[in-house]
Amino acid sequence: MRIVIINGPNLNLIGTRSPEIYGTTTLDELDALCHGWGVEAECVIETYQSNHEGDIIDRLHAARGADGVIINPGAFTHYSYAIRDAIDAIGLPTVEVHISNVRDREPWRRVSVVSDVCVSTIFGRGIPGYRDAIRHLTARAAWPVETIAYGPDSDNVGDLRIPRGESPHPVAVLLHGGHWRDTAARDLLDPAAVDLTRRGWATWNIEFARVGSGGGFRSTTADVAQAIGSLSDFAEGHELDLSNVVVIGHGSGGHLALLAAVGKSEVPISAIVALAPIGDLE
């Protein structure tokens, strides 16, 4: 698998530019880290940086023989429809990455014109966001995924993976951690989803409202309950066994799993697995 990583304007200055925001890792060090993460993920990484819009577009066009793209467009994120169209035109799964939490900065930084043509947007995780983007692309390539909306909000979606073999399939509902903050997202459990699907489980890796995107105790727990209940809407078409539904949560997702166990659900929950849960065990 070959992944092209493209960094846009002013990313050549990371390490010295506003280190309180972007950290002290230089671009050369970032490139080296990405190549190392590529080795771990058994894929080839190509890195590129430019301060010029046209050069970035040309590099996107040249990436058409690759398997995926990771792009940090820098300030072009907020207004370059030309880069957006280039991402759309090449037809490759593309992950948008930002080192800082762009949703917690100036209002103009909260606007992205490229997000809608990307398969995922990762922000506010610092340099490790690039590692997570590599893992997300390799997970998408490892097992086909269908993204399904379970509600009206943008965060009301989940990734469904269906195993091979006999059906109906038992179901593992996955709840990611991250202290319910919007810098964390369901991509964090992609490797677990792929592993469980290989073992014969249908996996429903869900997103939910988080703090920073309308989340909080009531809305977040309501989203989880709705996502679990929505399994009944597509169980027949995907040959799911709703008599065997296990909810697995990590960290604050483990807290959500425990809450789901004592809450009301339209779909019966067979078991809960709370991995290092942040919760009140009482």
Catalytic machinery residues: 22, 98
Q: Is the dihedral of CA 45, 46, 52, 53 positive or negative?
A: negative
What is the 3-state composition of the chain as percent helix, strand, coil, each rounded to the nearest 5? 40, 25, 35
C-alpha torsion angle, residues 107, 206, 7, 70 (rounded to 10):
-150
Q: In angstroms, rounded to a whole number, what is the distance separating the alpha carbons of residues 11 and 14?
A: 5
Q: In angstroms, rounded to a whole number, what is the distance separating the alpha carbons of residues 77 and 254?
A: 34
Q: In angstroms, rounded to a whole number, what is the distance separating the alpha carbons of residues 185 and 123?
A: 10
Q: Which region, left, alpha or beta, applies to residue 239 given φ > 0 means left and ψ of -120 to 50 means alpha?
A: left
Q: In angstroms, rounded to a whole number, what is the distance separating the alpha carbons of residues 228 and 214?
A: 19
- List, in order, residues 6 or more apart from 272 with CB less than 8 Å away: 246, 247, 248, 249, 257, 258, 260, 261
Length of the chain: 282
Question: Which token pair is 207?
Answer: 């997103």
- Edge-to-edge order in the sheet of strand 271-275: 146-149, 157-161, 202-206, 169-175, 240-250, 271-275
Can you list the alpha helix ranges (DSSP code H) found in 69-172? Answer: 81-90, 128-142
